[in-house]
A and B are shown apart, each in its own frame.
Chain A
Amino acid sequence: MGMIKRAACALLALALCAGLSGCATDGGAGQRLTFQIWDNTQKAAMEAICAAYTRAHPDVTIDVQVTSWSEYWTKLEAAATGGTLPDVFWMHTDEMLRYADGGILADLTDLYDDAGYYEAHFSQGLLDNARGSDGRIYGVPKDRDTICLVYSRELFDAAGVSYPDESWTWHDLTSASQAIYDATGKYGYLAYNDEHLGYWSYVYQAGGYILTPDGKHAGYTQPATKKAIAFYVSLQDEPWCPPQTFFAETEPATAFFSGEAAMYFEGSWGLRSKLEDYPSMVGKWDVAVLPACPDPLSGDGRAVISNGLTYATAANGKNLEAAKDFLRFLGSEEAQRIQGEQGAAIPAYEGLQDTWLSVFDSFDYRINAEACLSMFAYSVQSPNNAARPAWKTRVSDEMLRVYAGETTLDAALESMQRTVDELSNR
C-alpha cells in the first residue's frame, strides 16, 4: 500500500514537473502573442495574416482569439483596468477616443521609420479614425466599410418591379415596398431602430448631421436631421414594414433570408457571410447603392455612413516591441492584401479596395459588390466622440420610446439633443 502511494506521488510530481518545463520552454525560446478580435467570420483571414507573418518570423506564434461583440468591450475594459490587455486587438471608432485619451493605447505615430507612411497609404478620414484627441495615431488602419441596400430579386420579379439602381430615391424605396407588399404579401423595406444601419445615412443624405465635426454638439434638432428621422420613423406605420416588436424577436437579416422581406440595409462586412450562411439563397438577392434623398435641405442627397477599424496595442504591454513589429506588418500592403483577398473586409490600404471583390467571384451568382465601393465617393465618417458609449444607449432608449408611441418625435429629439450635448461636454 505504502509503495503504491509513494509511486503515485512520484508520478504526480513528475507530471507536474513536465507540465512546468513544457511551459518554460514555450515562453523562453519563442515569442507568443495574443490577438483579440470580435468577428468570427474574419477569424480565418486574421489567421492567414498571422501565418504570413510567422513564416517570416518562425520564433513567433500568434493566437487569434474571438470574443463576441456583445462581450468584447466589457472584457477589454476589464483587461485594460487590470493591465492584462491582449498584445494586439481590434479597436472600433466608437471606443477609440475613450481608450486613446485614457492612456491605454500605445502611441503608434512613429511606428514606421518612413514618417510619411500613414499619409501615403491611408486616406485622411481613416487616419482621423485612428487618432486620439491629441492628434497622435493610436491604431493602424485595418479596413473601411459602407452600407448597401440588399434586395430580393425573387420578390422584385414576382411583383414586376424593376431592381434598385443609382437613380433610386426614398420615394422609389417606399413605392417599391408598397408594390411588393400588394403583389406578394411580403414585407418591403425593413426599417428598424438602428443608428449605423438605420437612420444615420438618411440624416446625412437630407443634409443634416448627428454631431458637429468637432464632436462637441449634437444635431438632432437641425431641420434636416429632423426631416430624415421623421421619414425613417414614419416607415414603421406603413403596412409593408413590420413593427419594432417584430425586430425585437427577429433579426432583419433573418427575416430577409427566410424570404419574408424584400429589402434591408446591410454592412459591406456582412455580405460574404450571408452568401456562405444561406447557400440556397445565392442568386435570389443582390445589392445596390443606398437610395438618395429626393429633396435634401443641402447637398445632393447622396450619403452613406462609413466606418473603419484599427489594430491597436496596449501602452504598457509586456510584449510591446514584438506587438509593434506585428502591427507594422498588419499595416503593410501584404497583410492588407490578404485581408482583402480572403474577403474579410475592404482593406484600408489605398489601392487595394478591389482585392475585396475577388471573393465574390467564387459564388454561383456574382453579387454587385462594386456598389459598396462606389459609395466611398460620397461616404460620411461614422459620427463619434469620446462620450459615444455613454450617449449611445440613451439615444437608443429614447428612439424606442418614440416607436412605442410614449413620446413624440419632437420631444424625443429635443431630449436627445440635450443628453448628447451634455455628455459630450462633461
Chain B
Amino acid sequence: MRISAHDARWGALLAAPTVLGLLALNVYPFVQTLALSFSRTQAFGRSTFAGLENYARMFASTEFWRATWNTVYFCLLTVPAGVLLALLTAVLLNQGVRGRAAFRAAYFLPMVVPPAAVALLWKWMFNARYGVINALLGTSVGWVTDPALVLISCALVAVWSAVGYDAVLLLAGLQAIPATYYEAAALDGASAAQRFFRITLPMVSPTLFFVVILRAMASLKVYDLIYMIVEQSNPALPYAQSLMYLFYREAFIAGDKGYGSAIAVWTVLLIGVLTLFQFSAQGRWVHYDS
C-alpha cells in the first residue's frame, strides 16, 4: 500500500507534537548532559572543556562503584520478585472471583498515591523505635539503618507500590487469551499447571516482556523512594545510595554538574546495555502469536 503525499503530511503533522516534545525535553537535554560530562563546570552554567577528567575521577571512586552495585542489587531485588508477584496477582484476578473490580482497584491504589507520600509513610512504619512494624513483630530491627537491610526495605516498598500497576497490565494480556484454548486443553485433560505453563505463560509473554523492561528501567533509575527513606544523615546511606541519588548529591548539593552528568551518562549506558540484552534474549521466551 502506498501512502499518498496528503496522508504523509497529515501523519507528520499529527506526530509533530510528540516529536517536538521529545526533541526539546529529551534529546536536547541529553546532548547537553553528554557535553557537560566532558566539562569542568562552575556555578551558574559556566563550564570549560575537561576531556575525560570526570570519567577518570568517577571510575576511580569507590563511592561510585558502590552506588552502581546498589543500583544493580536494587534491580535484582525488585524486578524478579515484583513481576512474579504481579503475574500471580493478575492470574488470581483473572479467575471468576466475586468483586473482581474492587480487588483490581485495591491493588492499583498504591500507584495512585504520590511516591513521596508512600515513602514517608513507610519510613515511619520502618522506624526502629516507634515504627508499627517493629511493634507488631516485637523486634527492634533497624530496617532502614542497618546496612544489610536498608536496600531490602526500600525494595519492599518499591515492589509494594508497583505490583498493582503491573498486575493490571498483565491482566489485560491475560484477558486477550481466547477462552477456546483453555476449553480445548480441558477436553484433552490438561492439568491446571499444564494449562498455565503451556497456554497462559506463552500467550502473556509479550505483555510480560513489556512489564519486565518497564520495571527494570524504573528500578535502575530509582531515586525518589530511596531519597525519601534514607536521609543524608543516615550512616547506612553508602549501602543504599543509588546512581541517581549519587547524581543528585554531586550535581545539586555539591554543585558539580559535570561530574553529575558523567554519572547520568553512565546510568544511561547501563540501562541501554541491559535493555539491549533483554531484547536480544526475548527470542528465547517471548511468543508473538498472531
Contacts of A401 in B (CB 8 A): 238
Q: Which of A35-43, A160-168, A244-252, A287-295 contacts B (4 or more CB under 8 A)?
A: A244-252
Chain A residues 226-265 with CB under 8 Å of chain B are: 244-250
Given contacts A245-B142, A249-B145, A250-B129, are A102 and B43 in contact (CB under 8 A)? Answer: yes
Do residues B43 and A98 form an inter-chain contact, with CB atoms below 8 A?
Answer: yes
- Flag the segment in A57-65, A368-376, A392-400 that touches B: A392-400
- Chain B 30-44 interface 0/1 with A at a Cβ cutoff of 8 Å (1 = within): 000000000000111
Asked if B145 and A77 sit within 8 Å, CB to CB, the answer is no
Which B118-133 residues sit within 8 Å CB-CB of chain A?
123, 126-130
In the complex, B253 has a CB within 8 A of chain A: yes
B254 engages A389 (CB within 8 Å): yes
Residues of chain A lying within 8 A (CB to CB) of residue B230: 248
A403 vs B255: C-alpha distance when bound (angstroms): 25
Residue of B nearest to A254 (CB): B130
List B contacts of A73 (CB < 8 A).
252
B237 at the interface (CB under 8 A from A): yes
Residues of A in contact (CB 8 Å), total: 31
Residues of A within 8 A of B254 (CB): 389-390, 392-394
- When the two chains form the complex, which single residue of B144, B147, B231, B253 contacts A393, counting CB atoms closer than 8 Å? B253
> B232 to A245, Cβ gap below 8 A?
no
Residues in chain B near residue A249, CB distance under 8 A = 123, 126-129, 144-145, 234
- Contacts A104-B44, A193-B233, A248-B234 given; does A98 touch B255 at CB 8 Å: yes
Q: Which residue of A lies closest to B143 (CB)?
A: A249
B249 partner residues in chain A, CB cutoff 8 A: 393
Given the complex of chains A and B, what is the CA–CA distance between A342 and B126 in angstroms?
A: 39
Please pick, from B44, B63, B142, B253, the residue contacting A81 in the complex, using a CB distance under 8 A. B44
With a cutoff of 8 Å between Cβ atoms, the chain B residues found around residue A394 in the complex are 254
Q: How far is the CA of A250 from the CA of B238 in the complex (A)?
A: 19
A74 and B43 CA atoms in complex are apart in Å by 11
Q: Kindly identify, within residues 198 to 251 of chain B, every residue whose CB is under 8 Å from any CB belonging to chain A.
A: 230-238, 249
Chain A residues contacting B253 (CB-CB under 8 Å) are 389, 392-393
Residue-wise, chain A 103-121 has the 8 Å CB interface mask toward B (1 for contact) of: 1100000000000000000
Given A193-B233, A389-B254, A403-B235: A248 and B144 within 8 A (CB)?
yes
What 1/0 flags go to A215-230 for Cβ under 8 Å of B?
A: 0000000000000000
- Residue pair A248, B231 in contact (C-beta under 8 Å): yes
Asked if A413 is an interface residue, CB under 8 A from chain B, the answer is no
Tell me, in angstroms, the Cα distance from A74 to B46 when the chains sit together.
16
A393 CB contacts on chain B under 8 angstroms: 232, 249, 253-254
Asked whether, in the complex, the Cβ of A245 is within 8 Å of the Cβ of B235, the reply is: yes
A77 to B235, CA, bound (A): 28
- Interchain Cβ contacts under 8 Å between A and B, 27 examples: A77-B44, A77-B255, A80-B43, A80-B44, A98-B43, A98-B255, A99-B43, A103-B44, A194-B233, A245-B146, A245-B234, A245-B235, A245-B236, A248-B236, A249-B145, A389-B255, A390-B254, A393-B249, A393-B253, A393-B254, A397-B63, A397-B238, A400-B235, A400-B237, A401-B238, A403-B235, A404-B147
Question: Given known contacts A102-B42, A245-B146, what 13 new A-B pairs fall within 8 Å (CB)?
Answer: A77-B44, A80-B43, A80-B44, A102-B44, A244-B233, A246-B129, A248-B145, A248-B230, A389-B253, A389-B254, A389-B255, A394-B254, A404-B235
